[in-house]
Amino acid sequence: MIDRTQAPAFRQIENIDLIKAEAYALDNGVDLYVINAGTQDLVRIELIFNNINWNPAKPLQAFAVNSMLVEGTSKLTALQIAEHVDYYGAFLQTDYNYDYALVTVYTLTKHLEAILPIIKDVVTGSVFPEEELETFKRNQKQKLSVNLEKNDFLSRRLFNRALFGNSIYGYAAEAADYDRLDRDQLVEYFNLAYKPGNCTIIASGKVEDDTISLINENFGKHWHKGSEIQTNLFTFPARGGDEHYFEKEGALQSAIRLGKLSVNRNHPDFAALQVLNTVLGGYFGSRLMANIREDKGYTYGIGSAVVSLQNAGYFFIASEVGADVCSSAIQEIQKEITLLQTELVPDEELALVKNYMLGSFLGGLENAFSHADKFKNIYFSGMDYDYYSNYVETVKSVSSEKLLELAKFYLNFDSFQKVIVGKK
Amino acid sequence: MVNFNRFVLDNGLKVLVHEDYTTPMAVVNVLYDVGARDEDPEKTGFAHLFEHLMFGGSVNVASYDEPLQRVGGENNAFTSNDITNYYITLPAANIETAFWLESDRMLGLAFSEKSLEVQRNVVSEEFKQRYLNQPYGNVWLKLRPLAYKEHPYKWATIGKDLLHIEQATIDDVKSFFAKHYNPSNAILVVGGAVNTEDIKLLAEEWFGSIPGGAKPERKLPAEPEQLQERREVIKADVPLNALYMAFHMSARKDTGYYEADLISDILSRGNASRLYVSLVKEQKIFSDINAYLTGSSDPGLFVIEGKLTAGVDTATAEAAIWEQLEELKSGLVSEKEFTKVKNKVESTMVFAEMSLLDKAMNLAFFELMGNAADLNSEVQKYLVLTPTDIQRRANKIFRKENSSTLLYLAN
């Protein structure tokens, strides 16, 4: 007979096996990394280009080039590109983030041969037609005008600006920036950034020899080195904490975002800091959720994170809270941080967080794509797989004393940038 | 292909097992056959509020989340107009913890007045965050009652009024639980690194003794055929004018659903789709436009929504959409265009098999619709369709008297 009052026995996660990327070099020297796994006959191929030559006078260059790669080449119109990709049931997307720009294609392996030449054309022969650029600018401005009505969106912009100033990380697009965007800027950036010397390819899924040959045929030949470029490099001076209040009449909720510069993945404290962050706001049972949602009912959700970028790391707490309880919510956040700085995390709670994090790490390795994502994290931080063994080891072994020390060092509330959009 | 084994416990609980040893994880998905459509019209938003309360502790387990996190698991849930679905992901070695937690809250809840009070507040903040404090956030609170006059799809899962949530009592909660949260009204799907024989034993052990209860009989008012065009205008502090059109269409299980789904793909899936190419790129009437289906169990809606380019008047925009719809009604889709949307459906299905959780949820949903095995023949239902089917369906759906149009205008 079962005893429902007793939790069943459970096992701690011992081993976590990552499928490691295999390295290849294409004929022209482009690095190709392969995660070969899975049973479905499909593949994801990512072409990744570092963001380069940041120029505050042309802040939208890199983003606009990436978005508009699919808007026409010297051979194909935007419509022909889209029709071709769709006809084979493939998915082509472009993504842009703080450190790099991606061109990703998902396709059934049987159609790879038909799809890759299109991708090649897109990354080598895009022409950014004037008419498409005008459409892009108009639609982006409209989208921006809607986003500017969202408190959460505004809070993110103000926060990034406060942390990262006039760099690519701190930049917040304005409608006028779109007006100043012209075709020459795009062509200039495209000719510099979308070159083999600035490209890494990652293939994941069922990637067999045929696929590797096809990748080499398309991206390893007739694609040559470009001019000298400068990968974006920034340093950010630490600054004192400050409040940034953007009042919105009649707001029902306020978006809050609090945090500061921190360390990134390359720093030895990063893994332990992730444990501390999880205790505070990194999972559903976190202290911030338990207090501010589950005890006070001030919000639908609150969380915190440590983020690793190539040139910086940062920590933040974010939530949307009832406008009438905004100040109380911030007080409670401060209380939770003080607690972490003054009292040891109890053993039972720490054990729970450790198990949760290991389970979550294991669960995050669902398929070939997720293993490739894990590889990207370390590769673009200039690290190797030891990072993950160290991560697992740290999660298992970090002590409450260490967390208290980290909380004192990294979570000084007075030094936070505190952004509030709405009413306080 | 998603393989599975099925068995039914004596109390009526249906159990499906999908063995997948490519992962060390397991998923436990419990679907309850209750959604916002089963609510009392005077107590809307209840199914969703109830979902929140399911995490407030059960008869023998004070906290739901904590023991699960302790064994490396995560969970969440969602409520739709049709169903309430709870899911857990955890290391397969610790699967019994999921059985313990899920079975205990099916057996009985034990939350406090305080828990109800707090979740009323949380849901109220969710209401504000998603529906009230966002530009265009309240569209569905307006569009549903415009399109549905009788059927309970006329209210959103969050509820038609915050007041309904604020007035919920412990007694309401108890009777809702007693009526809907029974083994006979649930489907349990277990997937991942598990074997069916072990799961059979665990299911018997943890769920077998829960009284089956009676499966509630659903007697919802059918939506009468719409005979006249409906229109509404909203003015609000938004930056752009927007247009929403909703048409009545078939239920999820009917052939008409598959035809309409392909129509929505032809109209707006990808950068080569008709609405995007013609209305965004060529005529530049919209900056953004989409066509999609609600995909509900009872007859649903075909929705077209778009944001207008500044300076374009709404009559022009509306006429341009109708022109596209008329084209579907009067002409046949070309072989090439038709192959394109079918190929996309086919590859989407293959990619969906990459996620264990998606597979488990899909099995539960298809079992609810009649038979989980239909998940594996789903793609066939699209492939057999012809351009003539598409044309016929377009003629059935895209009629003025079958439409509800909402103009959302900037102040």
Helices B387-397 and B255-268 pack at an angle, to 10 degrees, of 90
Measured torsion, CA atoms of residues B363, B366, B370, B373, in degrees rounded to the nearest 10 = -60
Q: Other CB atoms closer than 10 Å to residue B47's CB: what's the count?
A: 25
Averaged pLDDT, A253-271: 97
Say whether residue B206 is in contact with chain A using an 8 A CB cutoff.
yes
Say whether residue B334 is in contact with chain A using an 8 A CB cutoff.
no
Q: Other CB atoms closer than 10 Å to residue A300's CB: what's the count?
A: 22
pLDDT given for residue A14 in this prediction: 84
Whether residue A228 is predicted with pLDDT greater than 90 in this model: the reply is no
- A residues 31-90 lying closer than 8 A (beta carbon) to B: 38-42, 70, 78-79, 81-83, 85-90
Q: Which residue has the higher pLDDT, A225 or B48?
A: B48
Residue ranges and CATH numbers for the domains of chain B are 5-207 (3.30.830.10), 230-410 (3.30.830.10)
Give bridge partners of residue B301 from the DSSP assignment: B248
Contact B272 A79 (CB under 8 A): yes
Distance CA A400, CA B244 (A): 54
β B25-32/B230-236 pair status: unpaired
Which residue is closest to B335 within chain A, CA to CA?
A87
- Quote the minimal CA–CA distance from A406 to chain B in Å: 23
Distance CA A194, CA A47 (A): 10
Contact A143 B270 (CB under 8 A): no
Name the average pLDDT for chain A.
Answer: 96
Burial code (b: 16+ CB inside 10 Å, e: under 16) for A369-402 equals bbbbebbbebbbbeeeeebbeebbebbeebeeee
Amino acid making up residue A143: K
Cβ contacts of A188 within 8 Å, gap of 6 or more: A61
B277 → closest Cβ in A5, A79, A293: A79
A351: which chain B residues are within 8 Å (Cβ-Cβ)? 70
Say whether residue B205 is in contact with chain A using an 8 A CB cutoff.
yes
Can you tell me which residue has the tokens 């974006």?
A232
A135: which chain B residues are within 8 Å (Cβ-Cβ)? 280-281, 284
Burial code (b: 16+ CB inside 10 Å, e: under 16) for A53-87 equals bbeeebbbbbbbbbbbbbbbbeebebbebbbbbbb
ipTM of the complex: 0.93
A292: which chain B residues are within 8 Å (Cβ-Cβ)? none
Residue ranges and CATH numbers for the domains of chain A are 22-219 (3.30.830.10), 242-422 (3.30.830.10)
A11 → closest Cβ in B69, B94, B336: B94
A:B CB pairs within 8 Å: 208
Distance CA A261, CA A314 (A): 4
B133 → closest Cβ in A108, A252, A365: A252
Q: Can you point out the beta strands (E) in A109-217? A: 199-205
Averaged pLDDT, A121-138: 97
Nearest residue to A290 (alpha-carbon basis) of A343, A256, A339, A324: A339
- B residues 46-65 lying closer than 8 A (beta carbon) to A: 59-61, 65
Which residue is closest to A44 within chain B, CA to CA?
B351
Per-residue pLDDT of chain B (411 residues; tens, 9 = 90+): 999 999 999 999 999 999 999 999 999 999 999 999 999 999 999 999 999 999 989 999 999 999 999 999 999 999 999 999 999 999 999 999 999 999 999 999 987 888 899 899 999 999 999 998 999 999 999 999 999 999 999 999 999 988 998 899 989 888 999 999 999 999 999 999 999 999 999 999 999 999 999 999 999 999 999 999 999 999 999 999 999 999 999 999 999 999 999 999 999 999 999 999 999 999 999 999 999 999 999 999 999 999 999 999 999 999 999 999 999 999 999 999 999 999 999 999 999 999 999 999 999 999 999 999 999 999 999 999 999 999 999 999 999 999 999 999 999
Q: Other CB atoms closer than 10 Å to residue A175's CB: what's the count?
A: 13
Averaged pLDDT, A197-223: 96
Distance CA B386, CA B24 (A): 43
Distance CA A84, CA A64 (A): 23
Classify residue A294 by its DSSP letter.
Answer: I
- Quote the minimal CA–CA distance from A358 to chain B in Å: 6
